[in-house]
Amino acid sequence: MKFSYVKKMVFAAVCIALCVVLPIAFHAIPNAGTVFLPMHIPVLLCGLACGWPFGLVTGLLGPLLSSVFTGMPPAAMLPSMMVECATYGLVTGLMMLFVRTKHMTADLYISMITAMIVGRTVSGLSKALIFSPGTPAFAWVTTSLVSGIPGIVLQLVLMPLVIFALTKARLLPVRYPKGETVA
């Protein structure tokens, strides 16, 4: 099965819509947005499923449209959130393009963990150098890592399950069809 450009565009549009809807559901619980990182889920999903161009656009448009329609993230947090989410979409897509271990689960985890490390690093650097200069490093570590651990765990558990379910439902192409050799 081929995952055409049109299908990728539709999938990315659904992920962008999820960037608006998921935070609403999570923000019904106080501080759940910063703990469970709901906007990262559709961005990672899009990067994993559609590749880096669609992941990048989803990472940019998702937070922007969510902020416009719901006020989340607030305007002060929007630029750094866009940079972080765009990095997630870009890196997961690039990693899925270049990492081919012959094991889909390994490909997914390598891609996600790399994107999480690079995304949080880019987010921290952009905050420290551009968006919030003078903020102590421990504040970035606390907000980007410690408070988000439940969200990171949720993403690492949920993403492979969603990708495998979408593949089984034939909504995504099989990464390693039987008989394919990986060079």
pLDDT of residue 145: 73
Q: Which residue has the higher pLDDT, 34 or 153?
A: 153
Work out the average pLDDT over 120-139.
78
Reported as a pLDDT band with limits 50, 70 and 90, residue 179 is: low
pLDDT of residue 169: 95
Cβ within 8 Å of residue 119, ≥6 positions away? 84, 85, 87, 88, 91
Cβ within 8 Å of residue 93, ≥6 positions away? 47, 48, 50, 51, 52, 53, 54, 55, 56
pLDDT of residue 183: 45
pLDDT of residue 115: 97
Q: What would the CATH number be for the domain defined by 5-168?
A: 1.10.1760.20
Q: Are 64 and 48 in contact (CB under 8 A)?
A: no
**What are the residue ranges spanned by the domains of the chain?**
5-168
Q: Which residue has the higher pLDDT, 144 or 79?
A: 79
Q: What is the pLDDT of residues 90-101, one digit of tens each?
A: 999 999 999 999
| Alpha-helix residue ranges (DSSP H) falling in the chain | 5-26, 32-36, 40-50, 52-70, 78-98, 104-126, 137-141, 149-168
| Tokens coding 4 | 């055409």
Task: Tell me the one-letter amino acid at 22.
Answer: L
pLDDT of residue 141: 62
This prediction's pTM: 0.92
Reported as a pLDDT band with limits 50, 70 and 90, residue 21 is: very high
Work out the average pLDDT over 57-80.
94
